[in-house]
């Protein structure tokens, strides 16, 4: 009997061994996109949980299903991330244009016009002083004592008087005049000789002053000649602005026209042509209008960023529900794996 029992035990043990060998179910593999979800972390540890806890966890309610469907629809229909990228690019282009327009408009402010007048007047004064210095021995009174041109010569004479430069000039044999160019008084022979030496110095001084004044005026003029009306507002941005607001079409055309007219008038004035430089015809700022558009875009971007932040939270919630749904769909397989695992543990023990 014992021998038979021993054989039976061995047979049963062998059959059990065979059965255990066939317990080879592999744990369900949740897609990697859900690795960072809370439910995935829980699932990684199910071997250490009891079956009831697993069964209770692998349940999805009707409310959760409804929330999942709503999130899927909201995230699928929304293209707000791409929209915000487009808006940010648009804002950058508008800001670049606005900075360019501000630089142009600074040339057409009342202060800029006053400075041009001052530069032009300075050139005229120094030109008169230089011209007078060149003919200082003539008896004609070319300008009034006390005038701006007279002051230029007077300052040059004073600088000459306190320098050592006059000591090195030889007495010249130029044609002699009868009157002092500064005080308009008759000159003695010695005074005329001194004036001859001074004449070279004064011509050189007034010539340098005139060239410097002209250079300043020319540099200012180059700022205006560099303005190309067709490039003031690029055609693509113009089209965008008009698409957003049709009123911008006339506003932009009027703005460019006023810039062209003001540019032409200023350059004509600088180039010594007789014209009255009016302040009333200066273009109104389009940079300020563009700033309003930039502020509008910025508000939309900030609002979208709030939605995007909420969207991120929605995406996290959706991933959790998707992972749970997948596990619930494969609940039977997961529980079978768990049951086999328990059997293997007991048999090994």
pLDDT of residue 310: 85
Band the pLDDT of 174: cuts 50, 70, 90.
very low
Tell me the average pLDDT of the chain.
Answer: 80
Secondary structure in 3-state letters for 197-247: HHHHHHHHHHHHHHHHHHHHHHHHHHHHHCCCHHHCCCHHHHHHHHHHCCC
CB neighbours of 243 closer than 8 A, spacing ≥ 6? none
> 142 — phi, psi (to 5°)?
-75, -20
pLDDT tens for 122-149 read 988 888 877 776 665 444 445 554 566 6
Band the pLDDT of 150: cuts 50, 70, 90.
low
CB neighbours of 235 closer than 8 A, spacing ≥ 6? none
Chain CA centroid to CA 121, Å: 38
Higher pLDDT, 256 or 72: 256
Band the pLDDT of 318: cuts 50, 70, 90.
very high
3-state secondary structure of 61: coil
Q: What is the DSSP string of 75-125?
A: HHH--HHHHHHHHHHHHHHHHHHHHHHHHHHGGGSHHHHHHHHHHHHHHHH
pLDDT tens for 27-48 read 899 999 999 999 999 999 998 9
pLDDT of residue 294: 95
Band the pLDDT of 78: cuts 50, 70, 90.
low
Report residue 18 as tokens: 């065979």
Higher pLDDT, 180 or 266: 266
Higher pLDDT, 341 or 164: 341
pLDDT of residue 171: 35
pLDDT of residue 155 exceeding 60, the answer is yes
pLDDT of residue 42: 95
pLDDT of residue 144: 56
- Number of residues that this document lists for the chain: 349
What pTM, to 2 d.p., does this model score? 0.56
Band the pLDDT of 349: cuts 50, 70, 90.
low
pLDDT of residue 291 exceeding 50, the answer is yes
pLDDT of residue 33: 92
Band the pLDDT of 168: cuts 50, 70, 90.
very low
Q: Is 203 exposed, middle or buried (0-12, 13-18, 19+ CB in 10 A)?
A: middle
Higher pLDDT, 164 or 287: 287
Tokens 């949980």, residue? 49
Cα 188 to Cα 170: distance, rounded to the nearest angstrom: 18
pLDDT of residue 97 exceeding 80, the answer is yes
> 186 — phi, psi (to 5°)?
-60, 145
Q: Is 50 exposed, middle or buried (0-12, 13-18, 19+ CB in 10 A)?
A: exposed
Contact 199, 136 (CB under 8 A): yes
Using a pLDDT cut of 90, give the percent of the chain over it: 38
pLDDT of residue 169: 40
Using a pLDDT cut of 70, give the percent of the chain over it: 72
pLDDT of residue 307: 79
Best CA proximity match to 251, nearest among 65, 145, 101, 123: 101
Cα 100 to Cα 233: distance, rounded to the nearest angstrom: 9
Contact 237, 97 (CB under 8 A): yes
pLDDT of residue 127: 84
Cα 65 to Cα 266: distance, rounded to the nearest angstrom: 73
pLDDT tens for 204-227 read 677 788 888 999 999 999 999 999
By mean pLDDT, which of 97-101, 194-198, 240-244, 256-260 is the weakest?
194-198
CB neighbours of 267 closer than 8 A, spacing ≥ 6? 221, 224, 225
């Amino acid at each position: 009997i014992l021998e038979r029992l021993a054989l039976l035990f061995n047979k049963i043990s062998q059959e059990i061994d065979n059965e255990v060998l066939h317990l080879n179910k592999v744990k369900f593999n949740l897609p990697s996109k859900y690795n960072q979800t809370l439910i995935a972390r829980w699932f990684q540890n199910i071997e250490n949980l009891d079956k009831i806890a697993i069964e209770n966890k692998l349940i999805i309610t009707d409310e959760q299903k409804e929330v999942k469907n709503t999130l899927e629809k909201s995230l699928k229909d929304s293209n707000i991330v791409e929209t915000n990228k487009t808006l940010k690019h648009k804002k950058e282009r508008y800001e670049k244009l606005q900075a360019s327009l501000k630089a142009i408009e600074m040339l057409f402010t009342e202060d800029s016009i006053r400075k041009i007048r001052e530069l032009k007047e300075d050139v005229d004064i120094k030109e008169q002083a230089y011209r007078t210095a060149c003919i200082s021995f003539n008896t004609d009174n070319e300008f009034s004592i006390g005038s701006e041109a007279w002051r230029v010569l007077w300052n040059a004479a004073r600088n000459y008087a306190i320098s050592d430069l006059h000591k090195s000039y030889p007495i010249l044999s130029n044609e002699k005049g009868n009157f002092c160019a500064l005080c308009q008084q008759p000159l003695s022979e010695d005074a005329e000789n001194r004036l001859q030496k001074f004449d070279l110095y004064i011509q050189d001084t007034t010539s340098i002053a005139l060239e410097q004044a002209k250079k300043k005026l020319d540099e200012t003029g180059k700022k205006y000649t560099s303005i190309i009306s067709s490039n003031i507002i690029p055609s693509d941005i113009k089209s965008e602005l008009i698409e957003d607001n049709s009123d911008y079409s006339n506003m932009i055309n009027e703005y460019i026209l006023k810039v062209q007219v003001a540019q032409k008038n200023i350059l004509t004035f600088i180039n010594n042509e007789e014209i009255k430089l009016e302040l009333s015809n200066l273009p109104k700022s389009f940079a300020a209008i563009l700033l309003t558009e930039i502020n509008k875009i910025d508000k939309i971007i900030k609002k979208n960023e709030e939605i995007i932040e909420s969207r991120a939270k929605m995406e996290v919630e959706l991933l959790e529900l998707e992972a749970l749904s997948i596990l619930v769909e494969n609940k039977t397989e997961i529980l079978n794996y768990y049951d086999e695992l328990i059997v293997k543990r007991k048999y090994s023990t």
